[in-house]
Structure 1
Amino acid sequence: MDNLDNQLYIFVISDSIGETGELIAKSSVRQFESDNYQIFRYPYHNSVEQIKPVLEKAAKIKNSLIVYTNVVQETREYIKKKAHELNLHTVDVMGEPMDQIEDILGYEPLREPGLIRRLDENYFKKVECVEFAVKYDDGKDPRGAKKADLCLVGISRTSKTPLSMYLANKLLKVANIPLVPEVPVPKEVYEKDVNKIIGLTANPEKIISVREQRLKSLGLTSGAKYANYDRIREELDYSKQVMEELGCFVIDVSDKAIEETAEIILKHIRAGK
Structure 2
Amino acid sequence: GIPMEIIVGKMFKLEIWETLLRSMRAGEVAEFWCDAIHTGMYALVSRGMRRIAEGRDPLEGQKHRCGMGNMFDYHSTGYEDLDELQRTPQPLIFIMELFRVEEPSAYKRDTWAMNKEEKLAAVPVLHSEGNRLVLRKEFGLAAEKYQEAVICLRNLQAKEKPWEEGWLKLESLVTPLVLNYCQCQLELGEYYEVLEHTTELLQKHKDNAKAYFKRAKAHAAVWNEREAREDFMRVAQLDPSMAAAVKKELKLLGERMKTKNVEDR
- Structure-2-length-normalised TM-score: 0.20
Larger gyration radius, structure 1 or structure 2: 1
Larger RCO (CA under 8 A, 6+ residues apart): 1
More strand by share: 1
More helix by share: 2
